Amino acid sequence: MFTFDYIIVGAGAAGLHLSMAMKRNGLLNKKKLLIIEPSTKNSDDKTWCFWEKKSGLWDDFITKSWSKGELRANKESIEFDLDKYNYKMLRSIDFYKACKNQILEDENIEWVQEKVIDYRETNKEVIVKTNTNSYNTELMFDSRVSPEFYKPNNSIHIHQHFKGWYIKTEENTFENELFTMMDFDIKDQHSTSFTYVLPINRKEALVEFTYFSPDIVSDETYNCHLKKYLEHINVEDYQVVSEEKGVIPMSSFDFDNFRSKRIHKIGTAAGWVKASTGYAFKNCERKSEEIVNCLLNNKNLSGLKKPLKYKHYDKMFLDVLKSRNDFGEELFYRMYKKNPIERIFRFLDEESSFSEDFKIILSLNSKPFHQAFIRHLKRGFKTN
């Protein structure tokens, strides 16, 4: 049996962020880390986007960044200058390569392409069994979602699901210095559905049709709305270079209940996906830094919990989207129309003051929110 100080199960965004944070902050100078990942991580399987204040850790690897954006809703275009922020686009393959290059040159980190099939926690260690080996560690970070998440429970669940086309056009088509956060001009009947446009240059863009809804749709439904949108913006002569699809859980599930003394959940399994928006990449970076800071200062990881007020906000937001899925356009219109972008980003980053929270909530004031608040009270103000 092989022994490591730490084991990370899964080398997705969360696992790689955590391993890089451990390395970057000197945690592994005298300790050993094992990363267990069943795939090669050599494919460009997704695109991450995030906002941050100007320069960041991944600037050398991003595909594109923007300082201006827009939201189109209620037949109106709301343009916003990001001011102190930039909105950044990062291809997963570039992130994987950047991390793997640094990880594989570190003698205190070992990466194995294996699948975890079982584990056992004792008072002193965690014993991890893969398809080929057994390992033990004092602390395991697990990115696999608990089976309890998929069982019937009282939590509110919807999905952010989407299909995107990377397209090339023959003529200059896109305003490449401005990205479209949400365009509700083309939508699927009574659902929260919109198009997300990331122009890389005047002739290339990622165009995604996205839903925030309880049910997944067929591939043909995505294709139909992507074609409608491109017709709507007068794009006729184009080539689909590649495609990507995804389903991101948006849930009030209490992930904090599924960790123990020696097993700490990370990523989607820990609720690092923002429940009301589906954004996760930058949050994985922040949460990884928090974990490493605790380990460096011998602090208990049990104190790393989502602030209670944001659990309540997210649950009410999800309740509105689930009970009135047709109301999403109005909801986001009000948020972006009545608030500066910096306040919105601080709120979504869970860094806002109560004064900022109040202004955001006041801007969303509506009958569906009143009804969601009443339901929340009747359920005993529970956050899951």
Residue extents of the structural domains in the chain: 2-54+90-151+252-303, 157-250, 308-378
Residue 31 confidence (pLDDT) above 90: yes
The predicted structure's pLDDT at residue 54: 82
Mean pLDDT of 46-56: 95
Same fold, 2-54+90-151+252-303 and 157-250: no
pLDDT digits (tens, 9 = 90+) for 92-136: 999 999 999 999 999 999 999 999 999 999 999 999 999 999 999
Task: Pick the more confident residue, 117 or 381.
Answer: 117
Mean pLDDT of 248-253: 93
Task: Pick the more confident residue, 303 or 168.
Answer: 168
Residue 380 confidence (pLDDT) above 80: no
Q: How many CB atoms lie within 10 A of CB 26?
A: 11
Sign of the dihedral defined by the CA atoms of residues 325, 349, 194, 95, in that order? negative
384 residue type, one letter: N
The predicted structure's pLDDT at residue 258: 82
Residue 4 confidence (pLDDT) above 90: yes
pLDDT digits (tens, 9 = 90+) for 185-211: 999 999 999 999 999 999 999 999 999
Q: With both helix axes pointing from N to C terminus, report the angle between 367-378 and 308-323 in degrees, rounded to the nearest 10.
A: 120
Portion of the chain with pLDDT greater than 70, in percent:
99
The pair phi, psi for residue 245, each rounded to 5°, is -130, 155
To the question of pTM greater than 0.85 for the whole model, the response is yes
The predicted structure's pLDDT at residue 143: 97
In the structure, what pLDDT confidence band is assigned to residue 383 with cuts at 50, 70 and 90? low
Determine how β-strand 134-142 pairs with β-strand 2-9. Answer: parallel
Portion of the chain with pLDDT greater than 90, in percent:
85
Q: With both helix axes pointing from N to C terminus, report the angle between 281-296 and 13-24 in degrees, rounded to the nearest 10.
A: 40
The predicted structure's pLDDT at residue 256: 84
Angle among Cα 101, 104, 106 to the nearest 5 degrees reads: 110
Select from 1.20.210.10, 3.30.9.10, 2.120.10.30, 3.10.20.30 the CATH code of 157-250: 3.30.9.10
The predicted structure's pLDDT at residue 66: 98
Residue 296 confidence (pLDDT) above 80: yes
Per the prediction, the chain carries an average pLDDT of 94
Select from 3.40.50.10490, 3.50.50.60, 3.30.230.70, 3.20.20.10 the CATH code of 2-54+90-151+252-303: 3.50.50.60
In the structure, what pLDDT confidence band is assigned to residue 379 with cuts at 50, 70 and 90? confident
In the structure, what pLDDT confidence band is assigned to residue 381 with cuts at 50, 70 and 90? low
Determine how β-strand 47-53 pairs with β-strand 85-91. Answer: antiparallel
